[in-house]
Structure 1
Amino acid sequence: MGRPEWVFSLSDYLNKDPYHKKLLRLLNKFYNKDPIDLSLLERAVFKDPNVEKDFFIAFFSDDLLLGFGSIILMRKDPSDPPERFRETLFIKIFAVDPLLEGSLFKDVFKKIIGYAEEKALERGVKKIMIGGYPIWYIYPGIEIDYYEYISLLEKMGYKKYREYVNYEIDLADFYVPQRILDVEDKVYSQNITIREVYREEIERVSNWVGKIFGVVWGREVALAKENDDPSIVIAEDEKGDILGFSAYSLLNDRRFGPIGVEERSRRLRIGSVLLYRSLYEMKMRGVRIAEIPWTDHLFFYSHIPGIQRIRHFILLEKILRS
């Protein structure tokens, strides 16, 4: 193994094969219980419209990729994000080859995190988060199984901010139970329609979502424009007004969400009907394992047939000093 070298500004270098594949192998070794595919990696990391040239750092020895980090500031898209996103630098994803011997592993780990902190201060940002970056993300945070990584971060001054879970559903075992069919009948009896959205309606729906649930969700739903099929289900009243929505397969085929129902209509349990309709559509499209990510609504999802795993993620944050 040759002398290790730091390589910065990797937007051009890593945008070409075989470097994406090398990075994919590194990430899947580091997060060995939570596989990432090449499509999600490229779309979430390299096609994020907020990416800038110096937002990547990598550690090479000869042609071996030993460490990688991707940071992000939400400054471009959406154009007017909530203040909590504008004033935070996010470490979107990072990895170190777990086969490195102890001291070198820790050194690479700390340099990647240190690089992110330097960039935050350069940009006048004093809050840094690991996880918590919406829309173009791979994981909502760090899964608690990776205790060694969390422990190192805590020693560097990072503290738990929030925690969420991902549900994984084996759609081979998924079905719509009778209790949901009964709820669906009651919803229809209120002259409410549940239907798929046409491509020309995406902007209307994303604008409604942005108005009711915030600009971030609205922008996430707008990702449907980039896909072959819109993959959005809505609930409408007899006037054609939207009451709720459910999206799926936006950034990645197997990912469900977001989902929301306006407050005055929630008593009708429209959300349950939208949820099951979307999961059924995912199954009909050939998705085997569906992922319901980044949620703390545990009871809303806990009854779904086919739950295979629940992954527990924590978000970490650190307030930097100048």
Structure 2
Amino acid sequence: MDAEITVTELTAELTPTVVRLCEQALDLPEDAAEAACLVDVLWPRASAHRPVVGLGAYRGVELVGVLFCSVSSTEPHGGHVDLVAVLPEHRRRGVGRALLRQAERVLAEHGVTEVLLAGNPPYYAWPGVDVRYTPAVCAALALGYQQDRTAWNMTADLSYDGSPALRPTETAERRLADQGVTVRRAESTDLPALTAFARSTFGGTWDGELAGSVGRDGAGCHLAERDGEVLGFAAYGSSRPSWFGPTGTAPAAEGLGIGGVLLRRCLADQRAAGLTRAEIGWVGPVPFYSRSAGARIERVFFLYRRTLSA
């Protein structure tokens, strides 16, 4: 007979154990390889505006599953389940169900009335549930979550010198320079101007993602400016070293070719860091990435939500 499942809140000293569990429980190699980064992004980055809770499921004294959940920083009364990982040999034995139900109770205590199985920007590991994680899809449906959106990532191939993702940018940069536009790597001193530009031009949480990219190891950002005014940016590594984004160009500067240049400069950085592929996360303009970097859609995600009963 199975030992009873006990769910308790995780503490910081368990971080190495949690990382090892995620390395074993995340079936896709690209996710398992970045398990330590995912735990770092999703768990410790809590704040007064975005409470984060880590939960562990035990059978006896063995940690067999973990879950991270957080309160939305943008949606009133919204909560997110950011990660659920259960050891393969303990799946379909009630572990995921116990973790999700406890997460709902914890989030309700924070005033949450609707729970999303979806990324909580600016700190997220996936847009939603990768369709290849079949047990997670089955668990979501069994627990009454309704699919309401689909999202996708694109992949840029960095494995060979002639890849469209690695096309040189020098000619395009000279053309921009003739129009008074300078393209360069962003430094920490640029962060106030970049975040202000992101907030005023695009809204959302891109300013937070920029703060996680500029000046951090394994991450970076490039910008375009004219007469000291930011016209666009492209960043990578905020949530995961292998992921590109966010990126944006001022509406008045669209059509100059800024976006493609900034994108490929970032991809060149990621290739120089030893990556053979980069994921473009939570993609909107598919044709732009296909045209500018030869990127293709590879990962598809279902996003779920459930209203908590009173």
Q: Same fold (TM over 0.5)?
A: yes
Range that drifts further, 307-316 or 91-100? 307-316
Task: Give runs of aligned pairs for residues 97-246 of structure 1, distance below 5 A.
Answer: 97-100=87-90, 102=92, 104=93, 107-173=94-160, 174-175=163-164, 176-177=166-167, 183-214=172-203, 216-224=205-213, 227-228=216-217, 231-237=220-226, 239-246=227-234
Aligned CA RMSD, in angstroms, stands at: 2.7
Name the SS for the 1:256 alignment partner. Answer: strand
Name the SS for the 1:136 alignment partner. Answer: coil
Task: Give runs of aligned pairs for residues 11-160 of structure 1, distance below 5 A.
Answer: 11-15=11-15, 17=16, 19-29=17-27, 31=28, 34-50=31-47, 55-74=53-72, 81-82=73-74, 84=75, 86-100=76-90, 102=92, 104=93, 107-160=94-147
Unaligned runs of 5+ in 2: none
Q: 2: CA distance between counterparts of 1:267 and 1:256?
A: 21
Q: 1: CA distance between counterparts of 2:218 and 2:135?
A: 41
Unaligned runs of 5+ in 1: 75-80
Name the SS for the 1:268 alignment partner. Answer: coil
Equivalent residue in structure 2 for 1:302, among 285, 290, 293? 290
Are the structure 2 counterparts of residues 4 and 125 from structure 1 closer, same or farther at C-alpha, using a change threshold of 3 Å?
same
Name the SS for the 1:224 alignment partner. Answer: coil
Give 2:259's aligned residue: 271
Q: 2: CA distance between counterparts of 1:101 and 1:47?
A: 26
Give 1:254's aligned residue: 242
The CA deviation string for residues 95-131 of structure 1, in whole angstroms up to 9 with x for no partner, is: 22232364x1xx2221111112222322222111001
Aligned AA (2:250) = E
The CA deviation string for residues 151-205 of structure 1, in whole angstroms up to 9 with x for no partner, is: 3312322112222111232312335448x76654543332211111122222222
Give 1:320's aligned residue: 308
Aligned AA (2:186) = V
Name the SS for the 1:295 alignment partner. Answer: coil
Q: 2: CA distance between counterparts of 1:65 and 1:205?
A: 42
Give 1:78's aligned residue: none
Percent identity over paired residues: 24
Does the CA-based 8 Å contact 1:171-1:306 persist in structure 2? no
Q: 2: CA distance between counterparts of 1:182 and 1:225?
A: 26
Aligned AA (1:89) = G
Q: 2: CA distance between counterparts of 1:265 and 1:305?
A: 20
Does the CA-based 8 Å contact 1:198-1:230 persist in structure 2? no
Are the structure 2 counterparts of residues 214 and 305 from structure 1 closer, same or farther at C-alpha, using a change threshold of 3 Å?
closer
Name the SS for the 1:120 alignment partner. Answer: helix
Give 2:3's aligned residue: 3
Does the CA-based 8 Å contact 1:24-1:36 persist in structure 2? no
Residue 137 of structure 1: how far off its partner (Å): 1.5
Does the CA-based 8 Å contact 1:24-1:37 persist in structure 2? no
Q: 2: CA distance between counterparts of 1:125 and 1:196?
A: 40
Aligned AA (1:12) = A
Name the SS for the 1:236 alignment partner. Answer: strand
Range that drifts further, 304-313 or 158-167? 304-313
Q: 2: CA distance between counterparts of 1:273 and 1:225?
A: 18
